[in-house]
Chain A
Amino acid sequence: MSTVPVTPGPAALSVQALTKRYDDGTLALDELDLEIPAGEFFGLLGPNGAGKTTLIGAVTNLIRISSGRARVFGHRSDSLEARRLVGVAEQEPNLDRFLTVREALMYHGGYFGMSRDEAGARAEEMIDIFDLRAKADVRAPKLSGGMRRRLLLARALLHEPRLVILDEPTAGVDVELRQELWRYIRRLHSQGTTILLTTHYMEEAEALCEDIALITGGRIVARGSATDLKERFGVVTLEDVYLRTVARSLEREASPL
């Protein structure tokens, strides 16, 4: 695990009383408070429907916030400056079906304000880093699941964001690719990038993250390093912490008496 000290300055992500209620009445985020210091490798664990993806969407201008506020390095999360500083790789692939791998990367660079030369150079760099050279001229629908995952990550990192949000980046990938992605993400973090990782894999959270929060019902129910959490709850594994906290919260919600 990295021992890079957190960077001074505004928090990479500061969320205060963030609430999101969808049009169908579902309360996905319930006055959630969260602060992630700059330079930290932060893990967010929670069951499906806990609010992880909604939180990510709220921070990256993909979801309309009902109330509360979110700031990225001191900027409002929906501001141009904040968007420029964030790179997100969503859980479900969302690739442009008309573009090849190279084009997808270049256009992404363009959307983030890069010139043609900059976007082209950076695209070639990411193609090599993520071993996409053999498929550089192939369109997204024809890529394998693993290749799409690589492309999603390459796209999220192309514009050199200061905060990288990875929503279950290794879901459905093979062991070799997972190890490869871990190595790259660790290297990225060692260079000062703040990482927000959501995952269902406890060993992944424990291996990578300096700080972990557990979320359920749109609220943070526990937070700390893996070691702190295990000591606090008197258990041996992070999975036990998860079951103690998340399961307890779910039981409370199911049985109000």
Chain B
Amino acid sequence: MARPQPWRGLLWLSAREMHRVLKLWTQTTLAPVISSALFILVFGLSLSTRISQVEGFPYREFIVPGLIAMAMAQAAYSNNSSSIFQARSDRYIHDVLAAPIRPWQMNVGLTIGGVFRALLIGAGLLAVALPLTDVPVRHPLELAAAVLLIVTLFGAMGVVVGTYAETFDHHTFVNNIVILPLTFLGGVFYSVSILPSPWREISHANPLFYIVNAVRYGFLGISDVPAWLAFAVTIVMTAALVGWAQYLFATGRKLKP
């Protein structure tokens, strides 16, 4: 046998995570695209004639960036938290831990699944939203950067929560009680600028508010805060979560008794 190459472990681990997404595609990809597309149809198209423009855009265009951001964030988080939790509870993560793969490679490999799933969902939603709503893409590079940050941030969050979770309920709790409400309250369906004080100021303390605005800036060229601030906060959060996930793999804490 030729001398093994450690980086192959990263590629195979990534392939395994993407394989899992594709094997369960109706659940991992199709269902989220359908549910988010329904939001666009119900809230966007049906209410668009009754709601005047928001920040100069038809309502059906205004909500698309937030809905895509929300769907991708949830997908990246759910995929990785459930994958890591299953790997730990079934103990097949031992095959990875015992393999000659570096901690950062394990971290990246196990995060890739959530990134892949989120990108599939984002692409699917975009394919639905573009013809239905005519939403523009004013800053494609910034949009690509925002998307990359979101999938990395929530993918890493999923890895962290999946590593700490003691029961299946733990990782669904974080999604249902933390991510989903904060995303909704982060301005997916409205501009925070229309909120009265102090709710407008309180919204600025919501970290997901900046994520929604980073994506909205990429699509529409508008943001409730300066674009640089939305990206800066998102970058800091991403770095923190990626660092936390890396700490867990480097030390083995919670992964190895």
B257 A64 Cβ-Cβ under 8 A = yes
- Please name the residue on chain B nearest to A24 by beta carbon: B257
B12 A155 Cβ-Cβ under 8 A = no
Q: How far is the CA of A103 from the CA of B252 in the complex (A)?
A: 26
Tell me whether A98 and B20 are in contact in the complex, defined as CB-CB below 8 angstroms, given that A22-B257, A111-B96 are known contacts.
yes
**Chain A residues near B139 (CB-CB < 8 A):** none
Q: How far is the CA of A216 from the CA of B2 in the complex (A)?
A: 41
Q: How far is the CA of A98 from the CA of B253 in the complex (A)?
A: 26
* Interface size band for A: 35 or more
**Chain B residues near A159 (CB-CB < 8 A):** 1, 4
Q: How far is the CA of A197 from the CA of B257 in the complex (A)?
A: 22
Taken residue by residue from 80 to 92, chain A's Cβ proximity to chain B (1 for < 8 Å, 0 otherwise) reads as 1101101010101
B9 A90 Cβ-Cβ under 8 A = no
A120 interface residue (CB < 8 Å to B): no
Tell me whether A114 and B98 are in contact in the complex, defined as CB-CB below 8 angstroms, given that A64-B257, A98-B20, A107-B16 are known contacts.
no
B19 A113 Cβ-Cβ under 8 A = no
**Chain A residues near B8 (CB-CB < 8 A):** 110, 113-115
B256 A62 Cβ-Cβ under 8 A = yes
* Residue with the greatest number of chain B CB neighbours at <10 A, chosen from A90, A98, A103: A98
* Residue with the greatest number of chain B CB neighbours at <10 A, chosen from A95, A96, A97: A96
**Chain A residues near B6 (CB-CB < 8 A):** 80, 113
Task: With A62-B97, A83-B99, A94-B94 given, name 13 new contacts (CB 8 A).
Answer: A63-B256, A64-B251, A64-B252, A80-B101, A86-B98, A90-B94, A95-B90, A107-B16, A110-B8, A110-B13, A111-B96, A112-B100, A114-B1
A-side interface residues toward B, CB under 8 Å? 22-23, 57, 60-64, 80-81, 83-84, 86, 88, 90, 92, 94-99, 103, 107-108, 110-115, 118, 122, 155, 159-160
